[in-house]
Homo-oligomer: A and B are copies of this chain.
Amino acid sequence: MKKILNKPENYVNEMLEGLYIAHPDLITYTNNDVRCLVTANKKEGKVGIATGGGSGHLPLFLGYVGKGMLDGCSVGDVFQSPSAEQMHAVTKYIDSGAGVLYIYGNYNGDIFNFDMAAEMADFEDGIRVESVVGADDVASAGPTDLGQKSTRRGVAGIVFVYKCAGAAADAMLSLDEVKRVAEKAAHNVRTMGVALTPCIVPRVGKPGFSLGEDEMEIGMGIHGETGIRRGKLESADQITVEMLDQIVSDLPFTTGDEVAVLVNGLGATPVDEQYIVVRKINEQLGKLGISVHRFYVGEYATSLEMAGLSISVMKLDAELKTYLDAPAQTPFFVQL
């Protein structure tokens, strides 16, 4: 395991210590627990937005806490859910009377813990909590039962949900309205990934799966969950077309649609390769009469040092476009 770390069991907390040192103007923590990360710029009267999830996915999940996006994040160990108590502590800190919206990925551990945290906040503190679950990974299950009941996993597309809901909250909309915007964003985003190499969880010390020297896996999840097809590594254009076909046919996206596109590196893939994919996405969507309002390219939701990337596409309307374009400033996401 070639990693720059000290003891594997200190990986997450030492990372968090570094994060607070580097970004004191944007983030702090509550409950004397570095894993209860909250904004350093609490805005009174605003709906609070919290997320949470396992470490190992930076910028997910904590990297989007800041101005104009999220207000708090409970952080688990690598690929593990934080506790209900940690999410509850975050919830108490970020509530300022307007209630709190949870936005997180569709994983059983997170759902269990965050539902419990919401109940604790309600019973113990009288804080109203609503939840929207990201379930954008087209590869992870069929298209039925989107939203709360989906069996699809949440992946990089949740960044669009954070962005739109965060801007809606920043515009001082009510909890019901912020939830409505988050749900609209979540229902209009689709993601598909491809993995080229595995990653190593520090405490485990060895890869969770293996891929042959000339193999790729289309649709692999961000924890190495099995995808939809393993095969010989193909060209960037071929991979892009296959992934985009799955995405486009799923919503479906159609002629005349305006979309935002996020091309996300999983960790070890150079951004050069992501831009090669951008080129082909633009060509393919152009052929379909779908116009791209905005591209985001870089690392937004990683799997440690996994090589590969994902493509997320969100269908826009005037409202989502306004919120997507609004300014934001977090340790990992700055938009003027």
Contacts and interface: CB of A to CB of B under 8 A. Distances in A.
Interface in A209-245: 213-214, 216, 233, 235-237, 239
Contacts of A277: 4, 18
Contacts of A2: 196-197, 213-214, 216, 233, 307
A329 B59 CA distance: 20
A274 B5 CA distance: 9
Interface stretch (A43-51, A119-127, A264-272, A312-320): A264-272
B58 A272 contact: yes
A272 B197 contact: no
A304 interface: yes
A276 B21 contact: no
Contacts of A273: 3-5, 15
A278 interface: yes
Nearest to A213: B2
A332 to B, nearest CB: 8
Interface in A6-23: 6, 11-12, 14-19, 21-23
Given A196-B4, A236-B5, A269 B14 contact: no
A270 B267 contact: yes
A335 to B, nearest CB: 7
A112 interface: no
11 contacts: A2-B216, A2-B233, A4-B308, A5-B235, A14-B279, A16-B275, A17-B275, A18-B277, A18-B297, A270-B304, A305-B307
Interface of A: 2-6, 11-12, 14-19, 21-23, 55-56, 58-59, 194, 196-197, 213-214, 216, 233, 235-237, 239, 267-279, 282, 295, 297-299, 302, 304-305, 307-309, 329, 332, 334-336
Given A12-B272, A334-B336, 18 more contacts: A2-B214, A2-B233, A2-B307, A4-B239, A5-B235, A6-B237, A14-B276, A14-B279, A15-B276, A18-B274, A18-B275, A18-B276, A21-B282, A22-B275, A56-B272, A59-B271, A271-B302, A272-B304
